[in-house]
Structure 1
Amino acid sequence: MPKVVRKLFHVGTLHTISFAVEADGVTSPAEDALKLMLTGMWAADPEAAKEGLPSDTQIDRRAQLVAGIKYFARHGVPSQRSCGVNALQSGIWEFKEGQKRVSFFDTDGHGSFTEKRKFKNPALADYPNDPHWDIPGFDQDIRLGHCFGKPWGQRTTEQEDLDETIRVREEDLSHDRAA
């Protein structure tokens, strides 16, 4: 099996962020969604449902989302002014801006990962004196997985989106294990 070539999203001081690749070795759901957002045509966006497509709001929020992900690559924590970071489940996290979500996971680059959880006690955190003490230290390689919309007021992520994030992660990591 030939080695998969992942498209690079951003190289930061702390993290290299790439797009996760599905089993076919080509499809990258996060890349596809971010391309659609660039033109305001990402149909899964709950905000765009009100405005219609193309959505200028979607284009603006995408710019904030991208800036936040790049900040995270440089600093390892979310910016105070742009997108947030949240733990989902099973070592899957999300970057969030408005109602847009981009799942991510970290990896050793060899087909495995260590599940990182959000800290609930600063005394047990990797960086207890940091304002973002609840965010763990991630491996250098971070992969962007699945994008999904989350309606305002919805506190939990839909099970189908959680399942999709895990599926994309497993398919992506299988490429590393096969190499």
Structure 2
Amino acid sequence: MERRLVVKGAFYDVECARTADGSEPAGQFLDELKKGMWDGDPNDPDRPSDEQIYDYPAILAVLKHVATVGEPPHARAVNYLERGVWEFKRAAKRLSFFDTPGDGTYTERPKILDRTNGIESVYWWFPNFDHQLRLGHCFAKLGEKALPQDVQRSLDVREEDLTYDQDT
């Protein structure tokens, strides 16, 4: 079964990661967000949510920009979590992502901390990823930092997705 392709770009193809049970949490998140029906944000209890319906194309625009240009449209669109897992951000909504060549492996790509090792861009801290960016765990960030369980679930989804690649 093929993964859901969200955006195909010159730099990256953005796809939904698969979990051990074969589901695609990011695909479900995007489908629910498009309808204003995502229940993951306790600060947005209305259903359908006008905010979510508005956020859906904004999130897709960020994904398309990264896929076609190779860097974020603005510094607050992405954030590094840990151990090679990043997040796309829109208000309190978060979509974890990681990169892979698609063969069940990955190379940990943290945020670049030394400008001399970066590229010639205002986004020098954003690394060059493998061609496939996989969207994983989606969650609401309600405080200063992502909750440890959300970061761990993001890491777990990456491992499950890479295992799925190895098994196919």
For the aligned pair, the TM-score class normalised by the smaller chain equals over 0.9
d(CA) in 1 for partners of 2:58, 2:66: 12
Aligned residue number for residue 11 of structure 1: 8
* Contact 1:64–1:83 (Cα < 8 Å) also in 2: no
d(CA) in 1 for partners of 2:133, 2:115: 24
Aligned residue number for residue 138 of structure 2: 147
Q: Confirm whether residue 122 of structure 1 aligns to residue 118 of structure 2.
A: no
The one-letter code sitting in structure 2 at the alignment partner of 1:67 is A
TM-score, with length taken from structure 1: 0.89
The one-letter code sitting in structure 2 at the alignment partner of 1:8 is L
Shift of 1:47: 4.1
Aligned residue number for residue 34 of structure 2: 38
Stretches (4+) displaced over 6 A: none
Shift of 1:164: 0.8
Q: CA RMSD in A?
A: 1.4
d(CA) in 1 for partners of 2:21, 2:40: 23
Offset from partner CA, 1:132-157 (integer Å, 9 cap, x none): 00100000011110110012xx2211
The one-letter code sitting in structure 2 at the alignment partner of 1:57 is E
Aligned length: 168
d(CA) in 2 for partners of 1:65, 1:130: 22
The structure 2 residue matched to 1:73, chosen from 46, 67, 72, is: 67
SS in 1 for 2:44: helix
Shift of 1:5: 1.6
Aligned residue number for residue 17 of structure 2: 20
d(CA) in 2 for partners of 1:116, 1:75: 18
SS in 1 for 2:52: helix
Q: Confirm whether residue 29 of structure 1 aligns to residue 31 of structure 2.
A: no
d(CA) in 2 for partners of 1:145, 1:85: 14
Structure 2: 5+ residue runs without aligned partners? none
SS in 2 for 1:114: coil
TM-score, with length taken from structure 2: 0.95
**Within-5 A mapping of 1:25-174:** 25=22, 27-49=23-45, 52-80=46-74, 84-125=77-118, 127=119, 129-151=120-142, 154-174=143-163
SS in 2 for 1:24: coil
Offset from partner CA, 1:51-100 (integer Å, 9 cap, x none): x22110111112111110111001111113x9601110111000001111
d(CA) in 2 for partners of 1:17, 1:65: 12
Offset from partner CA, 1:91-129 (integer Å, 9 cap, x none): 10000011110000000111010000101121122x1x2
SS in 1 for 2:67: helix
The one-letter code sitting in structure 2 at the alignment partner of 1:143 is R
The one-letter code sitting in structure 2 at the alignment partner of 1:6 is R
d(CA) in 1 for partners of 2:116, 2:63: 27
d(CA) in 1 for partners of 2:59, 2:91: 9
* Contact 1:47–1:58 (Cα < 8 Å) also in 2: no
Aligned identity (percent) is: 38
